[in-house]
Amino acid sequence: MTTPSFTGIRTVAVPVTDLDRAKALFEQLGLSTRMDEELQPGFRWIEMAFGNTPTSLALVATGPELPVGVDTGIRITTGDARAAHAQVAALGLEAGELLDWDTAPLMFSFADHDGNRFYVAQH
């Protein structure tokens, strides 16, 4: 048997139309900026994460190959889904229905300013 080449996921990139607006939004949601650099002319990379977690979110400018309004598939955890739902709504974001099922944790989804969808589940 061969040893796997891959060992984890470090960063997931999400395209946005306004990097500064998206950065401010995710700071309000509790992420901290690890990196904010122009890697080459016209290509800015903003990497953000929760605390010391190894996985991060990268904000990149939208373009023909990177459309906005995508279902990111990103699952975010929270200790209080009701409070997180209220916070998202207070920020003027589209907050989905708060799903309270007997067989799953309390959860909901929301869309950022560009329509990118994220999911939140209580742990």
Whether residues 120 and 94 share a domain: the answer is yes
Whether residues 122 and 79 share a domain: the answer is yes
Long-range CB pairs of 30-36 (<8 Å, 24+ gap) are 31/57
Whether residues 87 and 117 share a domain: the answer is yes
Give the pLDDT score at 3: 84
Whether residues 76 and 58 share a domain: the answer is no
b/e per residue 48-81 (b: at least 16 CB within 10 A): bbeeeeeebbbbbbbeeeeebeeebeeebebeeb
Per-residue DSSP letter, 4: P
Give the pLDDT score at 37: 97
75 in a structural domain = yes
Per-residue DSSP letter, 99: B
Whether residues 21 and 39 share a domain: the answer is yes
Report the predicted TM-score, pTM, of the whole model to 2 decimal places: 0.92
- Percent of the residues in the chain that have a pLDDT greater than 70, as a whole number: 100
4 in a structural domain = no
Pairing relationship of beta strands 11-16 and 56-61 according to DSSP bridges: parallel
Q: What's the CATH code of the domain at 23?
A: 3.10.180.10
Whether residues 85 and 101 share a domain: the answer is yes
Whether residues 89 and 107 share a domain: the answer is yes
Give the range of the structural domain holding residue 29, as residue numbers without chain letter.
10-62
Domain count of the fold of the chain: 2
pLDDT tens for 40-68 read 999 999 999 999 999 999 999 999 999 99
1 in a structural domain = no
Whether residues 120 and 78 share a domain: the answer is yes
Whether residues 88 and 118 share a domain: the answer is yes
Output the six-digit token pair for 29. Answer: 């949601």
